Structure 1
Amino acid sequence: MSPLFPALRTADEKEALRFGEHALSYAELAGAAGALAGRLAGAGRVAVWATPTLETAVGVVAALLAGVPAVPLNPKTGERELAHILADSAPSAVLAAPGDLLPPALAALTRIDVVATAGAADLSAAEPDAAEPDDTESPALIVYTSGTTGPPKGAVLPRRAISGTLDALAEVWAWTPDDVLVHALPLFHVHGLILGVLGPLRRGGSVRHLGRFSVEGVARELTAGATMLFGVPTMYHRIAEALDTDRELAKALAGARLLVSGSAALPVHDHRRIAAATGRTVIERYGMTETLMNTSVRVDGEPRPGTVGVPLPDVELRLADESDGIGEIQVRGPNLFSGYLNRPDATAAAFTEDGWFRTGDMASLDADGYVRIVGRKATDLIKSGGYKIGAGEIENALLDHPGVREAAVTGEPDADLGERIVAWVVPADPQSPPTPEELAGHVAAQLSPHKRPRTVRFLEALPRNDMGKIMKRALGNGNG
Structure 2
Amino acid sequence: MASSDGVRDLFAPPRVLAADGGEPGELLLRSAEELGEYPVTVVHSLREWAGIAPEHPLISERARGDWRTVSYGRAVAAADAIGQALLDRDLGPGRPLLVLSGNGVDHLLVTLGAMMAGIPVAPVSVAYSLQSRDHARIRDIAGLIGPGAVFAADAAAFEAALDALPGIPAVVSAGHRDEAEQLSVLMNTNPGEAVRTAFANLSPDGTAKILFTSGSTGAPKGVLNTHRMLAANQRMIRQAWPFLGWERPVIVDWLPWSHTFGGNHNLNMMISSGGTLYVDAGRPVPALFGQTIRNLTDVPPTIYFNVPAGYAQLVPALEADPEFAARFFSRLRLVFNAAAALPAALRDRLAAVAEHTVGRQIPVTGSWGATETAPAVTSAHFPFTDARCIGVPLPGAEVKLVPADGDACEIRVRGPMVTPGYFGRPDLTAAAFDADGFYRTGDAVALADPADLSAGLVFRGRIAEDFKLASGTFVRVGAVRTRLLSVIPVLSDAVLAGENRDYVSALGWLNAAEARRLLGGEPAADGELIVHGELHKLLARALAEHNGAAGSAARVERLVVLASPASLDAGEITDKGYINQRRVLARRAGLVDMLYADPVPAGVVAAERTS
TM-score (norm 1): 0.90
1:27 corresponds to: 73
Write the deviation string for residues 114-165 of structure 1: whole angstroms up to 9, x where unpaired: 5778xx9569647772402432111110011112353211001100110111
Query: Which amino acid in 2 is paired with 1:193?
Result: G
* Counterpart among 316, 319, 322 of residue 244 in structure 1: 319
Aligned partners of 1:175, 1:305: CA distance in 2, in Å? Answer: 25
Query: 2:252 matched to 1:178?
Result: no
Q: Which region of structure 1 is more displaced relative to structure 2, 43-52 or 441-450?
A: 441-450
Query: Which amino acid in 2 is paired with 1:473?
Result: R
Query: Which amino acid in 2 is paired with 1:365?
Result: L
1:191 corresponds to: 261
* Counterpart among 12, 32, 50 of residue 8 in structure 1: 50
Aligned partners of 1:454, 1:280: CA distance in 2, in Å? Answer: 36
1:423 corresponds to: 506
- Unpaired runs of at least 5, structure 1: none
Cα RMSD (Å): 2.7
Q: Which protein has the bigger helix share? A: 2
* Counterpart among 561, 580, 586 of residue 458 in structure 1: 561
Query: 2:576 matched to 1:467?
Result: yes
Q: Which region of structure 1 is more displaced relative to structure 2, 229-238 or 380-389?
A: 380-389
1:83 corresponds to: 139
Query: 2:208 matched to 1:140?
Result: yes
Change in CA separation of 1:17 and 1:377 when aligned onto 2, cut-off 3 Å: same
Instruction: Kindly indicate whether the alpha-carbon contact (under 8 Å) linking 1:138 and 1:158 is maintained by their aligned counterparts in 2.
Output: yes
1:479 corresponds to: 590
Aligned partners of 2:189, 2:52: CA distance in 1, in Å? Answer: 12
Alignment of 1:246-285 (within 5 A): 246-255=321-330, 256-278=332-354, 279-285=361-367
Instruction: Kindly indicate whether the alpha-carbon contact (under 8 Å) linking 1:32 and 1:123 is maintained by their aligned counterparts in 2.
Output: no
SS of the aligned residue for 1:201 comes to helix
* Counterpart among 54, 73, 83 of residue 37 in structure 1: 83
Instruction: Kindly indicate whether the alpha-carbon contact (under 8 Å) linking 1:18 and 1:209 is maintained by their aligned counterparts in 2.
Output: yes
* Counterpart among 317, 320, 326 of residue 408 in structure 2: 326
SS of the aligned residue for 1:96 comes to strand
Instruction: Kindly indicate whether the alpha-carbon contact (under 8 Å) linking 2:214 and 2:574 is maintained by their aligned counterparts in 1.
Output: no
2:421 corresponds to: 339
Higher normalized contact order (CA 8 Å, seq sep 6+, divided by chain length): 2
1:131 corresponds to: 198
Instruction: Kindly indicate whether the alpha-carbon contact (under 8 Å) linking 2:84 and 2:189 is maintained by their aligned counterparts in 1.
Output: no
Query: Which amino acid in 2 is paired with 1:207?
Result: L
Query: 2:391 matched to 1:315?
Result: no
Aligned partners of 1:121, 1:404: CA distance in 2, in Å? Answer: 49
Q: Which region of structure 1 is more displaced relative to structure 2, 95-104 or 237-246?
A: 95-104
Instruction: Kindly indicate whether the alpha-carbon contact (under 8 Å) linking 1:412 and 1:422 is maintained by their aligned counterparts in 2.
Output: yes
Q: Please report how far the alpha carbon of residue 393 of structure 1 lies from its aligned counterpart in structure 2 after TM superposition.
A: 2.7
SS of the aligned residue for 1:456 comes to strand
Instruction: Kindly indicate whether the alpha-carbon contact (under 8 Å) linking 1:32 and 1:116 is maintained by their aligned counterparts in 2.
Output: no
Write the deviation string for residues 192-230 of structure 1: whole angstroms up to 9, x where unpaired: 212222320122221111222435645754664531112
Aligned partners of 1:250, 1:263: CA distance in 2, in Å? Answer: 24
SS of the aligned residue for 1:330 comes to strand
Change in CA separation of 1:372 and 1:58 when aligned onto 2, cut-off 3 Å: same
Aligned partners of 2:428, 2:188: CA distance in 1, in Å? Answer: 44
Change in CA separation of 1:407 and 1:55 when aligned onto 2, cut-off 3 Å: closer
Query: 2:227 matched to 1:159?
Result: yes
Write the deviation string for residues 81-133 of structure 1: whole angstroms up to 9, x where unpaired: 1111110111011123364533212232112345778xx95696477724024
Query: Which amino acid in 1 is paired with 2:104?
Result: T
TM-score (norm 2): 0.72
- Unpaired runs of at least 5, structure 2: 1-41, 174-181, 284-288, 355-360, 524-531, 567-572, 592-611
Q: Please report how far the alpha carbon of residue 232 of structure 1 lies from its aligned counterpart in structure 2 after TM superposition.
A: 1.6
Change in CA separation of 1:336 and 1:13 when aligned onto 2, cut-off 3 Å: same
Write the deviation string for residues 235-286 of structure 1: whole angstroms up to 9, x where unpaired: 1110112222111232234330122121232222211111111122321111
Change in CA separation of 1:212 and 1:130 when aligned onto 2, cut-off 3 Å: farther
1:232 corresponds to: 307
Query: Which amino acid in 2 is paired with 1:406?
Result: S
Aligned partners of 1:246, 1:225: CA distance in 2, in Å? Answer: 15
Q: Please report how far the alpha carbon of residue 294 of structure 1 lies from its aligned counterpart in structure 2 after TM superposition.
A: 1.2
SS of the aligned residue for 1:207 comes to strand
Aligned partners of 2:438, 2:471: CA distance in 1, in Å? Answer: 31
2:35 corresponds to: none
Aligned partners of 2:121, 2:474: CA distance in 1, in Å? Answer: 41
Query: Which amino acid in 2 is paired with 1:53?
Result: G
Q: Which region of structure 1 is more displaced relative to structure 2, 120-129 or 181-190?
A: 120-129
1:111 corresponds to: 170
Instruction: Kindly indicate whether the alpha-carbon contact (under 8 Å) linking 2:388 and 2:460 is maintained by their aligned counterparts in 1.
Output: no
Identity %: 26
Instruction: Kindly indicate whether the alpha-carbon contact (under 8 Å) linking 1:281 and 1:303 is maintained by their aligned counterparts in 2.
Output: no
